[in-house]
Each structure stands twice: as structure tokens, then as C-alpha cells.
Amino acid sequence: MVETAESLSQLICSKIGDRPFVVVSNREPYIHVYRDERVEWVRPASGLTVALDALMQVSHGIWVAHGAGPADWDVCDAKGFVGVPPDQPTYRLKRVALSRQQEQNYYYGFSNSALWPLCHVAFRNPVFSLEHWQAYQEVNELFAERVAEEIGNRPAFVFIQDYHFALLPRLLRERCPQAKIAQFWHIPWPNPEVFRICPWKEAVLEGMLGSDILGFHIRYHCQNFMDTVDLELEARPDRELTAIVLRGHTTKIRAFPISIDFEDISRRAASADTEREIAVLRRKYRLRENWMLGLGVDRLDYTKGIPERLRALDLFFERYPEFQGRVVFVQVAVPSRTHLEEYARLKEQVERLVENLNWKYSCGAWRPVVYIAEHVDLPQLVALYRAARFAVVSSLHDGMNLVAKEFIASQVDSQGVLLLSQFTGASRELPDALLMNPYSPDEVAERIREALQMEPAEARRRMERMRERVRENNIFKWAGSILKKLSKIA
């Protein structure tokens, strides 16, 4: 049975009733900015916030997040609340104010210079700074206070997102003992030998084990987490029930593969507005109708494998010169964490690779790579997905990767081909993609050739099977599965 917004709404009414439902994340689903002396709103480039926004619009709960937009506080009330979506509010966003130093040390510091590389095992050394760790503790305490202001000692459901708040479940359990707490870890969990280098590993693990339900994308990450706890804490892992008991409290460890609102994206892709948007994008980037388009859509992050992808593209054009002048690769690289030196170096590296590729192969009006280094909104993204002959998702390590699923949902004519890294969570669900090792430029180049030469009937068979899989396992089913598990212990 395909879950829908309506069925999730019914589930929420039956399982949650009138108890408060609170989602907590670092990133907010809507940001307010100044444009021409007016306040306008934008949606951030985040698969997590887009996915959860669909859940919140049917739950009518409270979303607690860092208010980072330049005009955010101009539209909030005295308690930091604003109704969202801004054009038709269905739930409330509670913004939390952080100082510049808190943001620097908690977000750019411990979260993204320590936990992010540690969990992704992407050949970047984590940076462990006591100052960063102290800020991380401070911000987790601050968020615990803000959530507790709303639910107090009442029965409530709290759904915590990601690695920014590893300490929050235990802090909330101490403040709000009647709350039922789920945490979803959107990035991979490494093996115990990798995680043991974290100087504050016990505090991180104990914080997460304040949850009633702790979710990861795939079973492999669940197993890694249980092995880590077994090695580092005086806790009792129950392998048969996939649960951990710490000081009398039981945390169930479960795999919940996150997804997207398939019907919404598919409907957008089939619309006349998308057809017009495709024409606009072709004119803007000088993309001729007879050119076959490849596509990459990523945040500019070293885990996404963008340099490796561009090197493979160079090898492809060198090895198969018959595709020169016929294939254009559009790479969307949304700027991310630009204050970190590692990301600034990555930006320079990617720009240099794009420039070299275009210098090496360009001929007349044709250039092999169109590089879009800016935020691209959903209508434009869907148009690019729809227009692409193939998409390359070459993450070096990824919890899930929703770009792969968005591309599939947008392929309403089922003619596109997905090239997918075997190191993504999505690869476990989508065996009909062309799976590949992103570290091997030869293998990626061969997959690009295979995608371009694939018989239309074969491409259609593969894409239709993937579309059915993503349609069935959508964002509402993901959310419903977590809420059902959480309600059983309420």
C-alpha cells in the first residue's frame, strides 16, 4: 500500500492525538532574507528539510531550528515563532538564536569538522577541538531548553534530526521525562575502529541512547552503531531485538530508509510549467535540443565525489571522442560550509577541473560542462532532472542520497538512466541503477557510455522498476514507520 499525506495525517491523529509533536533540526525549512529592501523567503537546498516539510504540513506540529536567515527575526513573534509555509501556514517554526561564535564552533566546528568526516570515512582527518566540543554541548543544552519550553512535563513526541544533536535525546529525557523521543541519524555510522578516535565518544553515544527509537538509513549502519556501543560503553546490546539497554532505559535501533514525496515531484515533472522551465534553461545555458544531457546535483561537499566525477568525464570524452559535440554534462554544485578551509579548497579544485575540461574539449558553441555554482530552486531542479538523459550520483559515502530518488520521480517518460555509487544507502534499494565504484574513473566512464548507448526499452524497464520502488517507499511511509514504532512505546 502506498502511503499518502492523507494516510499519514490519519495516522498522526490516531497515534499522536492532541499530544505535542516537535521536530528538531539544525537547518530550518524556510529562511527569510532581504531583497530590494523587502523581506522575502526561500527554501534551503536540503533534502532533509524538503522531506520533513511534507511531514510537518500534515502533522501541524512545531519545528525547532536555528534561525540563520538575515531577516528571520523580523517576521517572528517574541518567542521566536513564525507560521510556515510562509504563503500558506500549516505549522509553526520556532527559531533558536545562536551567536556567531556558537555557530562557528558548534556547526562548522564539532558537527562538520569532527562528526561529519568521522562518520563519512572520506579520507579527511576529523578535527577534535575542546572549544568546538564545549560549544556543541552548549548548543545542545540550548535546544533542550527551547523544546522543554513547549512540552514541559506533558506526554509528547519529539523527533530529532541528525548529527548536530547527538546529546539532545538524553538532555530532553532529563527535562521532559514523559516525552517519547526518536532520533534519525541522516549520515552513515562508521565501524567501531573508526569511531573510537573521538575523544568524547562515550558522551556522544550516551546522548544518543536517550532516544526511545534511534534510526539509521540501512541495517549496516545499525549494526555498526551496536558494535560501537558494545565496545565503548557498559551497556547491554540485545542483538535479537536490535536494542540497547543503558542504565535501565531501552533504545530500539532500527533502519528507516528515507525517501521523497514521489507524487509531488512526479506531478511537477509532468506539468506544462516544467516544459516551459526546460525551454528557459536551454536558452539560458545555450543547450541545443539535439545535445544529450548528463546531470550531477550536489552540495559542494567532499563526500559527493565531484572531482572524481569530473576526472571520469575527462576520461570518457578522451576514450570515446564520438560523443564530443553531442553530450553536455550539467553540474549543479550548491555552495556549502564556505567558511571551512576544506570546502574553500574543494571549490577551487572543482572550478579548475571544469575550466580544464572546457578548455580541452570545447568546440564552437559546444562545451562539455555547464557548471552551476548556486542555489537552484525545486522547479528548476525538476526541469533539469526531466531533461537529463542520465544522472550521475557518485558519492564517496552517503547515508541515503535523495537526489537519486528525485531524479527517478522526475523521469515521467522513463527514458533516463541513473548512475549510482555503490557507497550510497540508495544503492541498497535501487539495483536497477547502473551501480559503480566512484573511486574508479574507468568504471564511471564506462557507465556513462553504457547509459548513452542503452536501448530505450531497457532504459524504460529499469526506470519503471525504480519508479515503482520509490513510489511505494515514499516520505510518508518513512515518517509513518517511525511514528508507528514510537507510538507503540507511548
pLDDT of residue 10: 83
pLDDT value, residue 270 = 98
CA distance 89 to 401: 28
- State residue 374's pLDDT score: 92
Calculate the alpha carbon distances from 348 to 332, 336, 344, 351 in Å: 15, 13, 6, 5
**Other Cβ atoms within 10 Å of 375 Cβ, number:** 13
pLDDT score of 310 more than 60: yes
DSSP 66-98: E--STTGGGS--TTSEEEESTTS--EEEEEE--
- Spatial distance between the Cα atoms of 264 and 412, rounded to a whole number of angstroms: 12
Quote the CA–CA distance of 154 and 156 in Å, as a whole number.
6
Integer Cα distance of 17 and 11 in angstroms? 9
Question: pLDDT of 141-191, one tens digit each?
Answer: 999 999 999 999 999 999 999 999 999 999 999 999 999 999 999 999 999
- The grid coordinates of residue 206 equal 550516551
What b-and-e string marks burial along 337-351, b requiring 16 or more CB atoms within 10 Å of the CB?
A: beebebbeebbeebe
Instruction: Please list, residue by residue across 296-334, b when 16 or more beta carbons sit within 10 angstroms of its beta carbon and e when fewer do.
Output: bbbbbbbbbbbebbbbbbbbbbeebeebebebbbbbbbb
Assign 3-state DSSP to the chain and report helix, strand, coil percentages, each to 5: 50, 20, 30
Quick one: average pLDDT of 333-346? 90
Q: Is the pLDDT of residue 101 over 70?
A: yes
Please give the Cα distance from 420 to 403 (Å, whole number). Answer: 10
Distance CA 209, CA 127 (A): 24
The band of 343, judged by pLDDT with boundaries at 50, 70 and 90, is: very high
pLDDT surpassing 60 at residue 3: yes
For the segment 43-55, what is each residue's pLDDT rounded down to a tens digit? 876 666 776 887 7
Q: Over the stretch 371-386, which tens digit does the pLDDT of each residue have?
A: 999 989 889 999 999 9
Give the pLDDT score at 60.
86
What percentage of the chain has pLDDT greater than the value 90?
Answer: 84
Q: What is the pLDDT at residue 47?
A: 61
Q: How confident is the model at residue 123 (pLDDT cuts 50, 70, 90)?
A: confident
What mean pLDDT, rounded, does the chain reach? 94
The string of pLDDT tens digits covering residues 262-274 is 999 999 999 999 9
Helix ranges (H only) for 155-253 are 168-175, 192-195, 201-208, 219-232
